[in-house]
Chains A and B, each alone.
Chain A
Amino acid sequence: MTTLVLVSHPQLADSTSQQFLKESLPSTGVKWEHIEGQQALDVDQEQAQLRQADRIIFQFPLYWYAAPAGLKTWEDTVLTRTFVYGDHRYPLAGKELGIVVTTGMPQQAFQRGGAEGLTLDAVLAPLAALAHRARMTWLPVFPIYQFGYLEEPEKLQLVIDYQRYLTQRQPDSLANRQDWFAQQLPGMVAHLPAEQQATGKLIASVFDQNREQLDQLTDTLAMIKEQEDD
Chain B
Amino acid sequence: MTEQSEWLRQQIDQLAGQQEKFTERAFWLALKKVTAEQERRSDQLSGEVDGRTWRPDHW
Task: Decide: B35 and A196 in contact? CB cutoff 8 A.
Answer: no
Q: Is B49 an interface residue (CB 8 A)?
A: yes
Interface size class of A (residues with CB under 8 A): 35 or more
Q: Which of A178, A191, A210, A224 has the most CB of B within 10 A?
A: A210
B10 → chain A, closest Cβ, in Å? 10
Q: Quick one: CB contact mask for B17-56 with A, threshold 8 Å, 1 for yes?
A: 0100011111111110111011101100110110011000
Task: Decide: B38 and A211 in contact? CB cutoff 8 A.
Answer: yes
A159 → chain B, closest Cβ, in Å? 4
Residue in contact with B42 in the complex, picked from A185, A192, A203, A213, CB distance below 8 Å: A213
**Chain A residue at minimum C-beta to C-beta distance from B14:** A199
Residue in contact with B41 in the complex, picked from A174, A181, A196, A206, CB distance below 8 Å: A174
Task: Decide: A210 and B38 in contact? CB cutoff 8 A.
Answer: yes
A153 → chain B, closest Cβ, in Å? 8
Task: Decide: A159 and B23 in contact? CB cutoff 8 A.
Answer: yes
B1 → chain A, closest Cβ, in Å? 14
Task: Decide: B31 and A181 in contact? CB cutoff 8 A.
Answer: yes
Task: Decide: A224 and B15 in contact? CB cutoff 8 A.
Answer: no
**Chain B residue at minimum C-beta to C-beta distance from A217:** B45
Task: Tell me the A144-159 residues at the B interface (CB within 8 Å).
Answer: 153, 155-157, 159
Task: Decide: B49 and A214 in contact? CB cutoff 8 A.
Answer: no
Query: Which of chain B's residues have a CB closer than 8 A to the CB of A188?
Result: 24, 27-28
Query: Which of chain A's residues have a CB closer than 8 A to the CB of B22?
Result: 23, 155-156, 159
Q: Is A70 an interface residue (CB 8 A)?
A: no
Q: Which of A157, A207, A228 has the most CB of B within 10 A?
A: A207
**A134→B26 CA distance, assembly (Å):** 36
Task: Decide: B4 and A206 in contact? CB cutoff 8 A.
Answer: yes
B39 → chain A, closest Cβ, in Å? 7
**Chain B residue at minimum C-beta to C-beta distance from A157:** B30
Task: Decide: A206 and B8 in contact? CB cutoff 8 A.
Answer: yes
**A173→B8 CA distance, assembly (Å):** 22
Q: Is A202 an interface residue (CB 8 A)?
A: yes
B59 → chain A, closest Cβ, in Å? 15
Chain A residues with a Cβ under 8 A of chain B = 23-24, 153, 155-157, 159-161, 174, 177-178, 181, 184-185, 188, 191-192, 196, 199-200, 202-203, 206-207, 210-211, 213-214, 217-218, 220-221, 224-225, 228
Known A157-B30, A191-B24; further 19 A-B contacts with Cβ < 8 A: A23-B22, A23-B23, A153-B29, A157-B26, A159-B30, A174-B34, A174-B38, A177-B34, A185-B31, A188-B28, A200-B15, A203-B31, A206-B35, A210-B42, A213-B42, A214-B42, A217-B42, A220-B49, A224-B49
Query: What 7 pairs across the A-B complex have the smallest Cβ distances?
Result: A160-B30, A159-B26, A217-B45, A210-B38, A156-B26, A224-B52, A160-B26
